[in-house]
Structure 1
């Protein structure tokens, strides 16, 4: 038996992070906008005793709501607060609302609108807005905690190390069930000692990576002393191909980081050494972006899709579309659709031969489709299915992933996000055949840059660059 027996409760529960946090984040955005407008109305009623708000006051309220749209979108108030205390969030909320009210006054002065309004109304409006925002956050936290206590929106975690810090973390997570983190067990580090009573021992470091992959664990908490740098580096090396979030208590510098950040969970200071760039509202924003753009694009290119399908059918015997096995989000295997560009042929099991210049397997129409990337248009169906994004790291063959993950540093970190139809690497000329290790390293470097610097504007920029120059590639055979 490779691993210690897992409690029945844990064996029966396969949990993956849900979208409750993202939905709560967007719900809070709407609630904050409503709070600004609603607080103004209530403040008017308290100050003047009726609801017939004058036009001048209405203009100020409307201006505050409009200014709140960019201010709240750019603030850090809606990032994941799983396990964080409410009082840690209130100063950020008060600062954002204070900025909105301050900008409202400045814009009123700039537009020469009357600003000598009732000071009591202004004070009541601001105070009620703060109180409403805090109340909404308290309700959201209670709702999230209730959902997690019912066994939904949970993340699974394992501890590495069994010292005092590990015991403190496990106890805190058990007490604060609203944090939504379930500890599956702990891994022993030889020479460091320590035990975690009432927590399953899952093995030692040699078995860590296999367990993480087999159980699809979401988080790995490293609770080793700072003097155990070699063990920590060994752990990061063992998890180089894992998409689990890695958290370390306390601080340690000088290691390979990816989207690292500092947060507080269950009252404990935690540093994310590697984490997904798409968490919370970013994940929901990315999903909305993909679905909206893919729907519009598919409707626009429907005649082109039909024409290509007819051409492929007439070019050579075989199906119009074919599926390729690729690694998707979190390294899970997905099927990617393409227009068939080669004559039907068979390859040895486990072998994938990349297309090369002058490849005899490619039809004349197929050569054109591959050169212009039109063979990849059916992947918009993958986007609508939710297995791909419009922008992201290009998916490689499963066999190539097995080959390169041991040769290119952080190669499998590309799978922290959904694969894309186009990406930063492709619009910068890194597309087509990767016949040398250097080409693959540069492509991975570009993919990691995209993950570190993702934003909606970067996605739109890549889409625009793809339209202008991305469809034609000298290296696409």
Structure 2
């Protein structure tokens, strides 16, 4: 299967009518590219002709700026995946990528104007209006284009007529996969197999069995099939070679279906290692440039926050010291990145003689171990502020899954016993705040359901990390602190 080409499975498999796809999907996407290129140019020039702006200089300058912007947008939109399959059929994803490309185009023009000292030659009113009108026009154009390609897709315009060779378990699994995914642009013609009729079912997953390899080649010669997917066990190397060698003489695409085990990891990307395709089962999240960006984000923001709140830290430290005897800071062992232990800093909120370092019992509402000042600190999350020093030391991030002590329990069971893949949270650094916390899953995990929900939110953050998501979580954290829930 071509992983870059979506598929529309028919409601009921039917034989081909002798006609191939009405329009290649690539041609439709090319037309969308041309439309958006023209929209950018038309938005800028129309403001000159129909707007109230008096060109500050030669009108040819505006034409050059418009052309440069249209070309820059085309390059940026392409590099950001604005014309990928998912962006063509998902309006939300398409809009997100188009607006990002348009914003980057505007930033590019501003930068070039500053560096070339040419910004004074263009009306600022025209430029601002162009950014707003151009962005709105691009959103409208993408909405219309998405409606158009969806309509063509639903009519089967992009569909290729596909035959499956192999009626065994592998062919069954492949046919079921195609029929279950309505984004594919495939019409399943039928299934073919060379084995004796008494060893074959009448149909496979509702797709008719149409004959042997000779029958398949005959239909190909009649122009009724565009693509053949060979669904034979990879271990049957000799049989595979025989079938493929005969199909290689026909003018259709011939592809090899995944082996049975590959369906388990069907969403995993395939990369080329040398000349050999290999499947990526798991990536290290937030790695490479992303890890460097997150580390810079942590250090810069933590430094700024510490410079702004040091008076608050001094007041809280004094309050803790005056309220009860014992140290100001509480250092508790927690598990961090790659399950490595570290000392997590917090303002002490419990009586010194009732602190727990092993076999820890989570704090609960009206917990007698909590001091008067500690109760206030916990409700306002001020007790977490010393973890900024953990961030500066590299043990934690500002945003990430909250670190837990190894002995913490939910419903009387260890966290790792409740969720077998709990250690997956440790694939990134723990954070002072996180997606689970701002979504309301903070505080005591007295039931297994609460732990599972927290775990699900943590995994969502790990798999969807971005700087924008971090900033969004930090902003929501301010609201969570001002309106605390489940904190005691």
Greater radius of gyration (CA): 2
What TM-score do the two structures reach when normalised by structure 2?
Answer: 0.47
